[in-house]
């Protein structure tokens, strides 16, 4: 049996073609790269071990987020890897296709802001996302709408990545 081509995952269909175990390995690989990007002292082997994948698996699924400097692998400042994520917009949870670590980080910051708002009631933090969009979808920044979504149990502020399988 041949392994599927994973380097060219550019959309939801290509990601869905990977078996669920491969999707989990890819997710862990993206976390390895993020960890290396956030802490430049962490090696690929250490970050991989902590996430439960091999360095080879990380290079296979998230190699575009890595570069080799001598014998050491380092995370690139940013990448253009595909990530299926969710955003709150117009009172609903919307699946979005995010390309790149910078936009994924922005969406992560939005979710952290929503979590902070729901915990403290601090509405001013939401203003940072007024008028901004991710994948063409506007961020929900209306406190009343977010509170209503939370009251109905619609918000899962701990899971910003969409499960594809």
> What's the pLDDT tens digit per position in 64-103?
999 999 999 999 999 999 999 999 999 999 999 999 999 9
In 3D space, the residue among 161, 118, 120, 158 whose CA is nearest the CA of residue 140 turns out to be 118
Rounded distance, CA 30 to CA 37, Å? 10
pLDDT tens digits, residue range 131-140?
Answer: 999 999 999 9
Alpha helices in 69-158 (DSSP H): 101-120, 143-151
pLDDT band at 159 (very low <50, low <70, confident <90, very high): low
Give the single-character DSSP code of 139. Answer: P
**DSSP letter string, 36-50:** HHH-TT--HHHHHHH
pLDDT tens digits, residue range 17-29?
Answer: 999 999 999 999 9
Strands 92-99 and 66-69: unpaired
The per-residue pLDDT for 101 is 95
Rounded distance, CA 91 to CA 104, Å? 21
pLDDT band at 141 (very low <50, low <70, confident <90, very high): very high
What's the mean pLDDT in 112-135?
Answer: 95
pLDDT band at 5 (very low <50, low <70, confident <90, very high): very low
pTM of the model: 0.84
Averaged pLDDT score across all residues of the chain: 90
Both ends of the chain: CA-CA distance in Å?
Answer: 21
The per-residue pLDDT for 156 is 74
Residue 8 main-chain phi, psi, to 5 deg: -100, 35
What's the mean pLDDT in 106-121?
Answer: 94
């Amino acid at each position: 049996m041949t392994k599927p081509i994973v380097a060219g995952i550019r959309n939801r269909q290509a990601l869905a073609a990977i078996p669920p175990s491969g999707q989990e390995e890819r997710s862990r690989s993206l976390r390895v790269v993020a960890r290396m990007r956030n802490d430049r002292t962490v090696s690929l082997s250490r970050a991989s071990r902590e996430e439960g994948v091999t360095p080879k698996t990380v290079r296979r699924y998230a190699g575009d987020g890595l570069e080799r400097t001598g014998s050491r692998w380092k995370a690139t400042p940013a990448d253009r890897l595909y990530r299926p994520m969710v955003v709150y917009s117009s009172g609903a949870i919307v699946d979005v296709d995010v390309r790149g670590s910078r936009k994924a980080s922005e969406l992560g910051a939005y979710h952290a802001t929503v979590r902070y708002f729901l915990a403290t009631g601090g509405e001013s933090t939401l203003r940072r996302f007024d008028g901004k969009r991710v994948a063409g979808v506007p961020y929900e920044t209306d406190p009343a709408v977010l509170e209503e979504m939370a009251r109905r149990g619609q918000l899962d502020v701990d899971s910003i990545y969409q499960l594809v399988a």
